Amino acid sequence: MKTLTPQSEQYLDIINEYKKNGKAIAHFNISNLDQARAIADVAQELNQPVIIGASEGEREYMGIDMVRTIVNELNQEYDVAIFLNADHTYTLEKVIEVVEAGYDSVIVDGAKLPYEENVALVKSCVDYVRSYEAKTGKRVLVEAELGYIGQSSSLNTALPEGVSEANLTTPVQAKDFILRTGVDMFAPAVGNVHGMLIDAENPRLHIDRLKEITATVDIPLVLHGASGNTDQDLLDAIDNGIAIIHINTEIRKAFRDGEMNYLEAHPNEVAPYKFGKEGQEEMKKVVRAKMLLYMK
């Protein structure tokens, strides 16, 4: 059995290397073991590192330590580096929880707060993480988000309230925010939204705005809410400074559809490993297509 527990020290190096080479690393969320293994299978098949994310809700469902244990186990079994990110975390208390549980990175989400409160929340989390690092020697990456893009990875009939062009991130604020908080990675709002529209295309990305932000800041940028964006928009985003791309809704839908189709055809099937397998297979198609796209 191969032992590889990637350290966060390598994590930032890998992200920067991808950014330098004009590629992006894939970030996929999980709510169960089937999804975790589907992601690891494809990462191994393509020989690419990958980030597994779990939001507050997903962690609550699976158990904070259980998620860490699953990803540790995947790192033992597979030959690629699989990092664990605590996705959208809203308070310092929850940040402390995941850092102490050994997560490799955490996203502090104060995007809905007034600007100064967002800065204060993120700064308090960065200060805590740096003191944790000094004490333990374990590097933990902190990401933060500025500009509102909605909160839920769901199928929606309309854009989330508060998402508008007026709430796109500006380069001036991005620079100020990064300088004052000391974050390692930054998630801008450039037309991306969490979730997918059911009856319409998701909005196009504002690549020009992304270009302006990239020209102003030098840390890796992360694109959230990339479900439903066109391949061309994602490629343009990667060409303009995006180093990590988050997909959740699209893989959730594929997983659900795989299981649903199977159960419709086999209504008496009760073995979770049979319909779970179908969910995995559908989800792997999306994971594979996205990872191949980001590798270019």
Compute the distance between CA of residue 165 and CA of residue 191 in angstroms, rounded to an integer: 7
Binding map of Zn ion across residues 169-208, x = CB under 5 A, - = no contact: ----------------------------------------
Q: Active-site residue 184, yes or no?
A: no
In the chain, alpha helices (H): 8-20, 33-46, 56-62, 64-77, 92-100, 115-136, 171-181, 207-216, 231-239, 249-265, 272-295
Q: Which residues are CB-contacts of 205 (< 8 A; sequence separation ≥ 6)?
A: 190, 191, 192, 223, 229, 233, 236, 237
Task: Give the residue at shortest CB distance from Zn ion.
Answer: 224
Of the pair 68, 194, the CB lying nearest Zn ion is at 194
Minimum distance from CB of 286 to Zn ion (Å)? 17
Give the three-state DSSP class for 41. helix
Kindly state the smallest distance separating residue 244's Cβ from Zn ion, in Å. Answer: 11
123 touches Zn ion (CB under 5 A): no
Catalytic residue among 87, 104, 184, 233: 87
Q: What is the closest distance, in whole angstroms, from the C-beta atom of residue 136 to Zn ion in the complex?
A: 27
Please state, in angstroms and rounded to a whole number, the distance separating the CA atoms of residues 39 and 46. Answer: 11
Q: Which of 224, 252, 253, 284 binds Zn ion (CB under 5 A)?
A: 224
Nearer to Zn ion, 87 or 259 (CB): 87
In contact, 178 and 198? CB cutoff 8 Å = no
Part of the chain binding Zn ion (CB under 5 A), chosen from 93-101, 111-119, 221-229, 279-287:
221-229
262 φ, ψ (degrees, to nearest 5)? -65, -45
Identify the DSSP state of 194.
S
CB of 76 to Zn ion, least distance (A): 28
- The span from the CA of 73 to the CA of 134, in Å, is 27
Backbone torsions φ then ψ of 199, nearest 5 degrees:
-105, 5
Q: Report if residue 27 touches Zn ion, rule: CB under 5 A.
A: no
Give the number of residues in contact with Zn ion, rule: CB under 5 A.
1
Task: Compute and round to an integer the Cα radius of gyration of the chain.
Answer: 18
Stretch of residues binding Zn ion (CB under 5 A), selected from 75-83, 178-186, 216-224, 273-281: 216-224
- Which residue stretches of 137-217 are H helix? 171-181, 207-216
Segment near Zn ion (CB under 5 A), from 96-104, 198-206, 223-231, 267-275? 223-231
Minimum distance, C-beta of residue 224 to Zn ion, in the bound complex (Å): 3
- Segment near Zn ion (CB under 5 A); pick from 37-45, 215-223, 224-232, 235-243: 224-232
CA separation for the pair 164, 182 (Å, rounded) = 27
Supply the minimum distance, in Å, between the C-beta of residue 194 and Zn ion: 6
Binding site for Zn ion (CB under 5 A): 224
Active site members: 87
